[in-house]
Structure 1
Amino acid sequence: MLGHWAALLPLPLPASPSPIDAACLGTWALQFTPRVTLLEGSVVAEMAGSARLFGGMEQLRAQVECGAQELGARVAWAPTGSAALALVRQPDSKAAPDGFSAPLTQVLDALPLHAITAIALHADTLARVGCRTLGDVRRLPRGGLGRRFGKALLAALDQAYGLRPEAYEWITLPEQFHARLELMSRVESAPALLFGARRLLVQMAGWLAARRLGATAFTLRWCHDVMRAKEAGTGGEITVRTGQPTQNTEHLARLLTEHLAHVQLLAPVGDIELLAPEVVPIVEESRSLIPETLHKGGSTDLALERIQARLGNACVRRPVMSPDHRLEWMQSWDSTPGKRPRAPQAVPAIPLPTWVLDEPLRLMERNHRPFYQGPLQMLLGPDRIEGGWWHRSTTGPDAVPLNVQRDYWLALSPHAGVLWIFQQRLAHDQTAWFLHGHFA
């Protein structure tokens, strides 16, 4: 079946310093199309059905070629899967071989016999009858060719030229991501692990994209060389957490770089592996009518994560909403990486102030009315809040309960604007009016 097929061949040493296997390459390719198969140590994928989702075939091909180059794989394109596989096996091709650059028969006729496995099995016999290329084989009488070499050779030849449909068994995504990579040489410095780890991150990003997931944490493990001191142990690991689910390889690599800068290896490392233990469904961003250039300014969350990875968790704190009806305890500050703020569960009866005082300010009273830069006019209220007897200021015998019994009001001051005030209840001689917040 004619289409737009890609074949990806993992490069061996020394062309690729850290070769990957075809299975990992196939998992990565599933982010572009579900029609991916493993064939003779290579990956073959039909891309035509997914081109529209990536902005057209030209942009899809550019993404595939860029990712394959980073993973250490060669790419070829052709109207059939067998033709793409035949082209990708040509070692002298520097750029991505393109079966669309000329008519398919012209492209394939020039290839040597070993380009198609079914023909390569009979290469010696075919060479004795004067065949040097696939075009020579195709020009032989079909009847004699089938009787002498079997129907498998004719079928493979027809499939490559698009004369017979191809049937493949498509691979499926694993439920969990776990990839391993053997390093080209022993690594003694933790930051140097990033070269190999980046390839694993590219694979993980492909797995996440194919499953429509985002990583909130990933773990990098390393195995020490067998020639190590006994006290060094078998290896180590670090877990990196993100503030929001992401598939962005560059961002994940930057975070890993910051964490590896604080790691001291106890022995040389020979193998690394990457796991994605915490993933969540990612919310796809809808296309906007606003030009895309306005969205390329970056994210504050990404910058804060890098600062936190470099300086430590305690250096960055995020506001966290708590399900508490007391205004002082509705919001707290937390430095735990990856912890997302949550909205309060209860909706207050009256609006909450923009600015809250650290300590409520006691107001004077005139004619039994609260006074702040003029007499206050009550606009809305009261909103009664009681509770907090379970909350202690400290631990031990000197602990003071932080219980409150208040009636909150929105009040208007002639000069200070709208205020958030409350009156203490059941406080005996301390029953009074207090200013607790301002509205912008």
Structure 2
Amino acid sequence: MLGHWAALLPIPLPASPSPIDVTALGIWALQFTPRVALLEDSVVAEMSASARLFGGMQPLHDLLETGAMELGARIAWAPTGTAALALVHHAANREDCDGFRAPLAHWLDPLPLAAITAVAAHHATLARIGCRTLGDVRALPRGGLSRRFDKALLQAMDQAYGLRPEVYDWITLPETFHARLELMSRVETAPALLFGARRLLLQMAGWLAARRLGATAFTLRWCHDVMRAKDAGTGGELTVRTAHPTQHVEHFARLLAEHLAKVQLLAPAGDIELLVSEVAPIVEESRSLIPETLRKGSSTDLALERIQARLGEGCVRRPILCEDHRLEWMQCWESNAFKRRKAAEPAYELPLPTWVLEEPLRLIERDNRPIYQGPLQLLLGPDRVEGGWWHRSEACEGGGGGGGKDAKPLNVQRDYWLALSPHAGVLWVFQQRLAGDQTAWFLHGHFG
């Protein structure tokens, strides 16, 4: 029942004597989520399903708040649509418009009865029994509320506080875009029209994004003031074309500014309108190195071979599982034509760690117990691993690959354990065997 709701309330801007049309505001919000509804001269939108597409909820918050500020809309957030609507109308300041900063009741209880329409309908009766806020109504016995008032009141209260699901009629996108704006004062020069036109361009970009289209041509029209010369006509228009389909407001604004600089108004303008003349599907570019034709089911080996051919053989490598029972050398990186080698499964009886240290970390001991962020409790083990006399260190290897005469064999003699640290969780540790002074405990990996 709880979600992540935004409520948008149109407010007047200096560029226009009247706020943005609520339908236009709802169409603009459709670029962020398909769950948009118009309610009480406001817009409510459920955003939780869209957060992943925009990189998380905070980036989505920033996008909506920035766009709402430019369009002339106040925004509030809450776990329910009814609560967000109440906050956007009656919150005292901007900080109180974020219903996620504290429990929902903390924000709703102090609001007046008018914050919820179904409650405001019974304002007179509720006031006579001493109710002044939503918290007062919520404190009344539910049985008495249901008998004395209609079902809408209790239902609206439950929906606002997240106790009952909400049902809305979602709006749909229109097939064409057309928006109009009444200017605050008469504009006598064409470049000055850009200030108000930007607000319409922002709405147009939202419509294009919601329809996954790009504009290749749009038209700006202006209506002359009634106090105009007879030969000036009723208005004029300007069509701007783009080389490629696009949705970028800044690009639209720059092109429009260049064209308006060449226009001379025959009379002062009082209204402007914007419509999209031509659209085309927008081609979304993939940022993956894997071609789309291969990502749809074919093997990626062909694509990796092409990338390797372009960048060089040593620039593209892949991890290969090796036939080695020593943890450090179970995996290697190869760039040799991506030849796959089928390796035997590791013979460890204990589960292998998620992360392995590049070099084992020697642990201190206290009372013959290894210490790592507290005394370690040995859970499972030992799992003995021995061998590696055939493996020579790379630093000493000769050109033939067999190692020089002074090469050091990478032989191991270890007893592995699963150990539990009070603060670091489950660890993969081993005790060095038959190593003289080096017989000690080491941390080799951890799970997580």
Per the TM superposition, whether the score is higher than 0.5 is yes
- 1:208 match: secondary structure: helix
Amino acid at match of 2:12: P
Q: Which amino acid aligns with 2:128?
A: R
User: Secondary structure at 2:97's aligned position in 1?
Assistant: coil
Whether 2:118 is the aligned partner of 1:118: answer yes
Q: CA 1:202/1:167 → structure 2, altered by over 3 Å: closer, same or farther?
A: same
How many aligned positions are there? 290
Which has the larger displacement, 97-106 or 139-148?
139-148
Match of 1:192, SS? Answer: helix
Aligned AA (2:252): L
The secondary structure found in structure 2 opposite 1:167 is coil
**1:59-100 CA-partner distances (Å, limit 9, x unpaired):** 011000000000000010011110110110026323571111
Whether contact under 8 Å (1:6, 1:84) holds in the other structure is yes
The residue number in structure 2 matching 1:208 is 208
Partners of 1:110 and 1:16 in 2: CA distance: 33
Q: Which position in structure 2 is the counterpart of 1:54?
A: 54
Ranges in structure 1 where 5+ consecutive residues have no aligned partner: 290-440
Alpha-carbon offset, residue 262 of structure 1: 1.1
User: 1:286-325 counterparts in 2 under 5 A?
Assistant: 286-288=286-288
C-alpha contact 1:118 1:153 (8 A) present in aligned 2: yes
Residue 43 (str. 1) matches residue 4 (str. 2): no
The yes-or-no answer on 1:24 pairing with 2:24 is: yes
Residues 133-187 of structure 1: per-residue CA shift (max 9 Å, x gap): 1100111122222233211111111110111111111111000111111111221
Q: 1:89 to 1:147 in 2, by over 3 A?
A: same
Distance in 2 between residues matched to 1:154 and 1:65, nearest whole Å: 32
Gaps of 5+ in 2: 290-448
Does the 8 Å CA contact 2:32/2:210 hold for their aligned counterparts?
Answer: yes
Equivalent pair of 1:5/1:78 in contact (CA under 8 Å): yes
Quote the Cα distance in structure 2 between the aligned partners of 1:123 and 1:4.
Answer: 29
- The aligned amino acid for 1:80 is T
Give the letter for the 1:193 counterpart: L
CA distance in 2, matches of 1:211, 1:177: 11
Tell me the residue number matched to 2:11: 11
Following the alignment from structure 1 to structure 2, what is the Cα–Cα distance between the partners of residues 228 and 248? 35
Instruction: Indicate the residue corresponding to 1:285 in structure 2.
Output: 285
Inter-partner Cα distance in structure 2 for 1:71 and 1:59:
18
Kindly report which structure 2 residues correspond to 1:42-191, keeping only aligned pairs within 5 A, or say none: 42-90=42-90, 92-95=92-95, 97-191=97-191
Percent sequence identity is 79
Deviation, 1:275, is 0.6
Q: Name the structure 1 match of 2:240.
A: 240
Question: Is the CA contact 2:96–2:107 (under 8 Å) kept in the aligned structure 1?
Answer: no
In 2, the alpha carbon distance for the partners of 1:94 and 1:17 equals 23
State the AA in 2 paired with 1:262: K
Contact 1:16 1:72 in 2 (8 A): no
Further displaced range: 25-34 or 225-234? 225-234
TM-aligned CA distance change 1:265 to 1:96, over 3 Å: farther
Q: How does 1:395-410 map to 2 (within 5 A)?
A: none
- 1:196 is displaced (CA, Å) by 1.1
Corresponding residue SS for 2:283: coil
Work out the CA distance in 2 between the residues paired with 1:15 and 1:117.
31
Distance 1:195 1:164 in 2: 44
Cα drift, residue 193 of structure 1: 0.9
Instruction: Give secondary structure in 1 for the equivalent of 2:240.
Output: strand
**Offset, 1:266:** 1.1
Question: Corresponding residue for 1:254?
Answer: 254
Going from structure 1 to structure 2, the CA distance change for 1:52 and 1:13 (only over 3 Å counts) comes to closer
SS of corresponding position for 1:89? helix
How far apart are 1:269 and its partner, in Å?
A: 1.1
Cα displacement string for residues 283-322 of structure 1 (whole angstroms, at most 9, x for unaligned residues)? 0021257xxxxxxxxxxxxxxxxxxxxxxxxxxxxxxxxx
Q: Given that residues 91 and 97 in structure 2 are in contact (C-alpha distance below 8 angstroms), is that contact kept between their aligned partners in structure 1? A: no
Q: Which runs of 4+ in 1 moved over 4 A?
A: 13-18
Q: 1:154 to 1:165 in 2, by over 3 A?
A: same
| Whole-Å separation in 2 of the counterparts to 1:232 and 1:170 | 44
In the superposition, relative to structure 1, how do residues 96 and 126 fare at CA in structure 2: closer, same or farther (>3 Å)? closer
Partner of 1:253, secondary structure, is helix
Q: CA RMSD in A?
A: 1.8
Shift of 1:113: 1.2
Q: Is the 8 A contact 1:225 1:269 kept in 2?
A: yes
For residues 227-250 of structure 1, give each alpha carbon's deviation from its aligned partner in whole angstroms, at most 9, with x where no partner exists: 211111111000011111110001
Question: What is the alpha-carbon distance in structure 2 between the residues aligned to residue 16 and residue 77 of structure 1?
Answer: 26
In 1, Cα distance between the equivalents of 2:233 and 2:9? 36
> How far does residue 259 in structure 1 lie from its aligned partner after superposition?
0.8
Which amino acid in structure 2 is aligned with residue 150 of structure 1?
D
Indicate the SS of the match to 1:25. helix
- Map Cα deviations across residues 317-370 of structure 1 (whole Å, 9 max, x no partner): xxxxxxxxxxxxxxxxxxxxxxxxxxxxxxxxxxxxxxxxxxxxxxxxxxxxxx
Give the residue type in structure 2 aligned to 1:166. E
> Which residue of structure 2 aligns with residue 369 of structure 1?
none
Structure 2 residue aligned with 1:367: none
Contact 1:9-1:74 within 8 A present in 2 as well: yes
Q: Which residue of 2 aligns with 1:434?
A: none
Aligned pairs for 1:336-347 within 5 A? none
SS state at 2:102 partner = coil
